[in-house]
Amino acid sequence: MNGSMSRRNFSRLFTATAAAAIAPAAVIGNPVAAAQGMIGGPADAGVPSASTDGETLQSEFLLELTLDRGATSNVEAGGIKRAIVAIAGGTFQGPRLRGTIVAPSGDWIVGRPDGSSVVDIRAVLQTDDQQKIYMTCRGIAYPMPGGALHARILPLFETGAARYGWLNNVVAVGVLRPTLGKVTYRVFRIL
């Protein structure tokens, strides 16, 4: 045996370990959530059968997010550089939703000594049918050779609007797209 492990065998081992780890939660917490939450099925289902889930990463276009930069406040303390950038407005548009960015919204950026930055966007999205969606994004941005900026964000969404409730369970990745005078991300839902 060469000591390596296939993805499928690793998945089986991880699932068995996770099932053992959440067993106490079924006794002291919510047994339904414990049974369905971590491993996706009944507690007595055991190790799931082999499937192709997780073998490849698939995505679909969710929306294009364009942010208008507002005022910036810079704060430096103890060698940490922060920039708090107001989002003065913007738009989002995709196959299933569209609308504008409304206040209060902003980006709390932490500059790192290596020249990269941690992005922390918090924004209120208002759909064309007047529903509100709270979006948070964490991400990393850094300069590339030649001066271009490379940035990726991980948006999460929260809403009580029934029509957009599906967003509450979306995992997404946003890719910075160069746009003159604006900050634009193409956001893809991970399937």
* Distance in angstroms (rounded) separating the CA atoms of residues 26 and 34: 5
* Distance in angstroms (rounded) separating the CA atoms of residues 120 and 33: 30
HEC-encoded secondary structure of 2-38: CCCCCHHHHHHHHHHHHHHHHHHHHHHCCHHHHHHHC
In order along its 191 residues, the chain shows pLDDT tens digits of 444 545 555 445 444 444 444 334 333 444 444 444 444 444 444 555 555 677 899 999 999 999 999 999 999 998 899 999 999 999 999 999 999 999 999 999 999 999 999 999 999 999 999 999 999 999 999 999 998 999 999 999 999 999 999 999 999 999 999 888 899 999 999 99
69 and 27 within one domain = no
Q: Which domain holds residue 19?
A: 7-45
Look up the CATH number of the domain holding residue 117: 2.40.160.20
Q: Give the pLDDT score at 180.
A: 87
Residue 116 lies in a domain: yes
92 and 29 within one domain = no
Q: Give the pLDDT score at 20.
A: 40
171 and 88 within one domain = yes
Q: Give the pLDDT score at 146.
A: 92
What is the 8-class DSSP label of residue 55?
Answer: S
Q: Residue 119: which of 69, 84, 167 has the closest Cα? A: 84
Residue 2 lies in a domain: no
Residue 1 lies in a domain: no
Q: CB–CB of 86/70 below 8 Å?
A: yes
182 and 125 within one domain = yes
Q: Give the pLDDT score at 33.
A: 44
182 and 140 within one domain = yes
Q: Give the pLDDT score at 19.
A: 42
123-to-71, 83, 99, 102 alpha-carbon distances in Å: 15, 16, 13, 7
Residue 180 lies in a domain: yes
63 and 22 within one domain = no
184 and 90 within one domain = yes
181 and 123 within one domain = yes
Spell out the residues 6+ positions from residue 50 whose beta carbon is closer than 8 angstroms to its own.
Answer: 8
Number of compact structural domains in the chain: 2
Residue 54 lies in a domain: no
158 and 84 within one domain = yes
